[in-house]
């Protein structure tokens, strides 16, 4: 079974199988926050490519954690927009 990650307003298969964030690694009862569908365990390069695909400004100067946060925000905005349509 493949895992999925959120890209904008939809889900796409991940490059690799495995948990997407610390919450998923800890299981359902984990107190760790979720990354909201973003594969926070992906490489910085992969996260950068997604940020580029979603048109996130300032991505070249972002750390990996900042990319995850920016992707979460962009995904949430895209989902809201899709629901309004």
Residue-wise pLDDT tens for the chain (85 aa)? 467 887 887 888 877 766 555 555 555 555 455 677 788 888 999 999 999 999 999 999 999 999 999 999 999 998 888 888 7
Q: Give the angle subtended at the CA of 67 by the CAs of 36 and 41, to the nearest 5°.
A: 60
Cα separation, 2 vs 26, whole angstroms: 19
Residue listed under structure tokens 């979603």: 54
- Residue 15: the pLDDT is 72
């Amino acid at each position: 079974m493949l895992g999925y990650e959120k890209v904008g307003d939809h889900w796409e298969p991940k490059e690799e199988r495995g948990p997407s964030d610390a919450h998923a690694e800890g299981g359902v009862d984990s107190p760790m926050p979720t990354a909201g569908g973003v594969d926070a365990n992906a490489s910085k390069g992969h996260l950068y490519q997604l940020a580029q695909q979603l048109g996130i400004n300032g991505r070249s100067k972002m750390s990996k954690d900042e990319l995850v946060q920016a992707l979460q925000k962009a995904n949430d905005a895209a989902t809201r927009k899709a629901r309004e349509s």
